Amino acid sequence: MAITLFLSSGNLIADRRYDFGRDLQLRGDLNGAADLMTQAAELEPNFASAWFSLGDLREQLGERDAAIIAYRRARDADPDDRHGAKLRLMRLGEGTLSEMPPGYVRALFDQYAPKFEKTLLSDLDYCGPEILLKAVLVARHAAKRPAHFKRALDLGCGTGLAARQFASLADEFIGIDLSAGMIGRARATGLYARLDVADMLKGLRAEPADSTDLILAADAVVYVGDLAPLMAEAARVLKAHGLVAFTVETHDGEGFILGPSLRYAHSAEYLRKTISAAKLKDCAIAPASTRIEAGDPVPGLVVTATK
């Protein structure tokens, strides 16, 4: 997902310096690029893209303290933090581990939407929806219940790949996603009765209690750190015997971490505790990788639980 966000400074000269800096960076001249980004940021002190690139360059040059200063300037220059400077700061150990800036997720996926399916399916062998389908069938079989659902919520629905996979199993699909660009693609599938551009937790909170048979999240809670509020809402919104199913990236330590890919990874123990605290039952957790990155499967889990 190598997409570089550019927000113009509104000053042609500063923007040109930024462009030259990017050219030098792509050619491997990191010091030359850092000089140009510094000049761009001096010309326009609120030039978030220049500060963010400077932070990235300083990090690559091993200059941690200077990287932190530049990322802070990038974060402060853009109230929505569309570059995700806060995530870079968290990775550098600055500030406590907390949620992603919604503006970052929105900007990332709005930019990504036109090429999302090609990149994920062809380049990364993405199979999140297939993994979820198998897990849901297994869970329903174990519960001796039909794998048919009247109302299904697709959290972080993206372009609608999960609804395509589950189309024959659900009468009505509702999709929730932060990115209007992704929602636009999901709408074009014609598979959703309703689509909301919203944060998944806020979207769930707006759903009536005991209203839903299935809640899915394919490769979406990797953008959510603390899953406790989400699981509590899922338990409220599900009907009795309703099912929640989602994929995560995982790690061997405790709790959840922000990985180098800037996605969260949740430990199996954390998931079990969180699901149990939400009073969901029949928690099943199995290893499952949704994608290949740099030639290797990304360690992951598929999780199901019932109300």
Ligand X SMILES: C[S@@+](CC[C@H](N)C(=O)[O-])C[C@H]1O[C@@H](n2cnc3c(N)ncnc32)[C@H](O)[C@@H]1O
Chain residues binding ligand X by CB under 6 A are: 105, 109, 128-129, 156-158, 161-162, 176-179, 182, 199-200, 218-220, 223-224
Residues 270 and 240 sit within 8 Å (Cβ to Cβ):
no
Q: How far is CA 34 from the centre of its chain?
A: 29
To ligand X, the closest distance from the beta carbon of 223 in angstroms equals 3
* CB nearer ligand X, residue 69 or residue 198: 198
To ligand X, the closest distance from the beta carbon of 127 in angstroms equals 9
- Number of C-beta neighbours around residue 259 at 10 A: 16
To ligand X, the closest distance from the beta carbon of 40 in angstroms equals 29
**Beta-bridge partners for 258:** 264
Three-state DSSP class for residue 141: helix
* CB nearer ligand X, residue 74 or residue 153: 153
* CB nearer ligand X, residue 1 or residue 284: 1
* CB nearer ligand X, residue 235 or residue 298: 298
* CB nearer ligand X, residue 161 or residue 214: 161
* CB nearer ligand X, residue 56 or residue 177: 177
- Cα three-residue angle 276-280-286, rounded to 5 degrees: 75
**C-alpha span between 173 and 194 (Å, rounded):** 7
**C-alpha span between 116 and 120 (Å, rounded):** 6
To ligand X, the closest distance from the beta carbon of 175 in angstroms equals 9
Residues 262 and 87 sit within 8 Å (Cβ to Cβ):
yes
Burial of 198 (0-12, 13-18, 19+ CB in 10 A): middle
Strands 300-306 and 281-287, sheet pairing? antiparallel
The residue with tokens 């909301």 is: 196
To ligand X, the closest distance from the beta carbon of 102 in angstroms equals 7
To ligand X, the closest distance from the beta carbon of 110 in angstroms equals 8
Closest CA to 154 of 138, 136, 177: 177
* CB nearer ligand X, residue 105 or residue 153: 105
Position closest to ligand X via CB: 158
To ligand X, the closest distance from the beta carbon of 216 in angstroms equals 8
